[in-house]
Structure 1
Amino acid sequence: MRRALIVAAVVALVLVVLVGLAWALQRSVIFIPMGGEPPPAAEVIEGAEDVRLHTDDGLELGAWFITPQDTDRATDRETAVLVANGNAGNRESRAPLARALAAEGFSVLLFDYRGYGGNPGSPSEAGLAMDARAAADALAERGFDAERTVYFGESLGAAVAANLAAERSPAALFLRSPFTSLADMGSHHYPFVPVRLLLRDEFPVAERVADLDTPTTVVVADSDTIVPPEQSHEVAGASANLVEEVVLPGGGHNDPATIHGPEVVAAVARLADHAR
Structure 2
Amino acid sequence: MNRRSFAFSAAVALIATRAHARTGPTPNFTANDVLERTLPTAPLSEWTDAPGRRREALQVDGAELRGWRYEGGDPRGPTLVIFGGSNNLIRNHDAAYRALAKGVGAVVAFDYRGFGFSTGRAAALQLRTDGVAIVDAVAKRSDGLGKVMVLGYSMGSMIAAFVARERRIGGLVLLAGLSHPDLMAKLYPERLKGLVPAADALDFLDVTASVRRSRSPLLIIHGEKDVAVRIEEGRANYEAADPSSRSFVELTGIGHEDLLANADVQRAVAAFGRTF
2:252 & 2:269 partners in 1: Cα distance? 18
Task: Work out whether 1:34 is the aligned partner of 2:40.
Answer: yes
Deviation digits for residues 148-183 of structure 1 (CA, Å, limit 9, x no counterpart): 100111111111111111111100111101111367
How much does 1:21 deviate? 10
Deviation of residue 22 (structure 1)? 4.7
Contact preservation (8 Å) 1:41, 1:49: yes
> Structure 1: which amino acid aligns with 2:133?
A
TM-score of the aligned structures, taking structure 1 as reference length:
0.79
Specify which of 54, 57, 66 is matched with residue 52 of structure 1. 57
Could you say which residue in structure 2 is the equivalent of 1:127?
126
> 1:194 Cα deviation (Å)?
3.8
Asked if 2 retains the 8 angstrom alpha-carbon contact of 1:22 and 1:198, the reply is: no
- Structure 1, unpaired ranges of 5+: 1-18, 70-74
Is 1:205 equivalent to 2:194 in the alignment?
A: no
Q: Which residue of 2 aligns with 1:163?
A: 162
Q: Does the C-alpha gap of structure 1 residues 216 and 47 become closer, same or farther in structure 2, counting only changes over 3 Å? A: same
CA apart distance, 1:230? 1.0
Alignment of 1:1-276 (within 5 A): 22-23=28-29, 27=32, 29-31=34-36, 33-37=39-43, 39-43=46-50, 46-55=51-60, 57-69=61-73, 75-181=74-180, 185=184, 188=188, 190-197=191-198, 200=201, 202-203=203-204, 204-241=206-243, 242-254=245-257, 256=258, 258-274=259-275, 276=276
User: For 1:1-40, what per-residue CA distance to the aligned partner results, in whole angstroms no more than 9, with x for missing partners?
Assistant: xxxxxxxxxxxxxxxxxx999547x735534633524613
Q: Tell me which of the two structures has the higher relative contact order, counting C-alpha pairs closer than 8 angstroms and 6 or more residues apart.
A: 2
8 Å CA contact 1:183–1:199 kept in 2: the answer is no
Q: Runs ≥4 in structure 1, deviation > 6 angstroms?
A: none
- Of 234-243 and 145-154, deviating more is 234-243
CA distance in 1 between partners of 2:43 and 2:26 (Å): 32
Rg larger in 1 or in 2?
1
The amino acid that maps onto 2:193 is F
Amino acid at match of 1:110: A
User: What fraction of aligned residue pairs are identical, expressed as a percent?
Assistant: 24
SS in 2 for 1:63: strand
The change in CA–CA distance for 1:263 and 1:125 in structure 2 (over 3 A counts) is: same
Q: Which amino acid aligns with 1:107?
A: A
**Distance verdict in 2 for CA 1:97–1:183, change over 3 Å:** farther
Unaligned runs of 5+ in 2: 1-24
Mapped to 2, the partners of 1:134 and 1:147 lie a distance apart of 16
| Cα deviation code 1:231-260 (max 9, x no counterpart) | 111111111244321101111111x3x222
Q: Give the total of aligned pairs.
A: 246
- RMSD over aligned Cα atoms: 2.6
With over 3 angstroms needed to count, the CA separation of the structure-2 counterparts of 1:185 and 1:87, relative to structure 1, is farther
Deviations, residues 159-211 of structure 1 (Å, cap 9, x unaligned): 11111111111001111011113675477262223443586453211111112
Letter in 1 for 2:254: G
